Amino acid sequence: MEADELLERMARSLRHQIGPVVGEPFAKTQAFMASVVLEKVAGQLRCAADHRQADEVDRLALASDVEAAAGSNVSAVVSDAISALRLGEEGLSSLVETLYAKRDELGSDLFEQLLGRVRETLRARLDRQLEYSA
């Protein structure tokens, strides 16, 4: 049995067999919450490999797109932040921070263009997270 299936079975037991026979209100709530948490973890586990791959594909595509849009006229700080996108997820946050910090240097149009492209990637990433969070 896969780990996510096992967790879902445990969640169903807690919700339908254990929770209903618990008398004390706080413990009953805890049993119900345990089932909710296990369901969420199961959903997250089930999606993990696909989401990790999609996140990486999107992030590398983002790196290429913002590199092309920024061209060679941006400062080393912005250029380094774009390059860091290829290294891992942390690069997303540092690029967002760098864009805001260098807004004046980039100018309004380029700032909006680059941030808009970053936001496309963040939106897709969030939509994947919402598959098991919402």
Residues that bind another protein (CB under 8 A): 25-26, 29-30, 33-34, 36-37, 40, 90, 92-93, 96-97, 100, 103, 115-116, 118-120, 122-123, 126, 129-130, 132-134
CB of 29 to another protein, least distance (A): 7
What's the min distance (Å) between Cβ of 118 and another protein?
Answer: 8
Q: CB-side exposure of 5: number of CA atoms within 13 Å?
A: 2
Comparing CA positions, the residue from 78, 91, 83 lying closest to residue 64 is: 83
Min. distance of Cβ 72 from another protein in angstroms?
Answer: 25
Distance CA 63, CA 44 (A): 26
Of 1 and 109, which has the nearer Cβ to another protein? 109
CB of 26 to another protein, least distance (A): 7
Q: 40 or 86: whose CB is closer to another protein? A: 40
Give the DSSP per-residue string, 66-117: HHHHHTT-S-HHHHHHHHHTTT-THHHHHHHHHHHHTHHHH-HHHHHHHHHH
The residue (of 75 and 93) whose beta carbon lies closer to another protein is 93
